[in-house]
Homo-oligomer: A and B are copies of this chain.
C-alpha cells in the first residue's frame, strides 16, 4: 500500500475528487493548507501597507491506495488538478506498512 499526498489548488478539489471516484478510489482525507513555492501570492494592501503573502491557499489530499491502484490514482489527480499554470502543486508517494479500518478492525487492503 502507498500513501499518496497531493497538494492542489483549492478550486480543483471537486474535480480531483470526481476523478478519483471514477478511478475507483473509495476514500481520502483532505485538509486546508498553505503552500510556499514558485507561485507568487496575491499582494494584499491594508491602508496603503503592502503585504506580499508568500503562503498561498492550497488543499492537501491524502489517500492510501493498494499498489495496484497507485498509478490510476496518481494519474487521476494529475489530470484533474492540472491547469498548466504555476502553482498546480505536487504529488508524493510514500510507503505504507499497515492500514486498519477502525470500525471493523480489518487490516491491509481490505481496510481502504
Which residues of chain B are near A64, meaning CB under 8 Å?
Answer: 90, 92
Check B38 against A34 for contact (C-beta < 8 Å): no
> How many of chain A's residues have a CB under 8 angstroms from any CB in B?
55
**Is A68 interfacial (CB 8 A cutoff)?**
no
Partner of A27, one of B2, B37, B98: B37
- Taking a contact as CB atoms under 8 Å apart, the answer to whether B102 and A82 are in contact is yes
Instruction: Tell me the minimal C-beta distance from A108 to chain B in angstroms.
Output: 11
| Residue A49 lies at the interface, judged by CB distance under 8 Å to chain B | no
A–B Cβ pairs within 8 angstroms, 30 of them: A2-B97, A3-B5, A6-B102, A7-B29, A17-B54, A26-B37, A26-B38, A27-B36, A28-B35, A29-B33, A29-B34, A29-B36, A30-B33, A31-B31, A32-B32, A64-B92, A78-B105, A81-B102, A82-B102, A87-B103, A88-B101, A88-B102, A88-B103, A89-B102, A90-B99, A90-B112, A91-B102, A93-B96, A94-B95, A94-B96
The residues of A with any CB-CB pair to B shorter than 8 Å are 2-3, 5-8, 17, 26-38, 54-55, 58, 60, 62, 64, 74, 77-78, 81-103, 105, 111-112
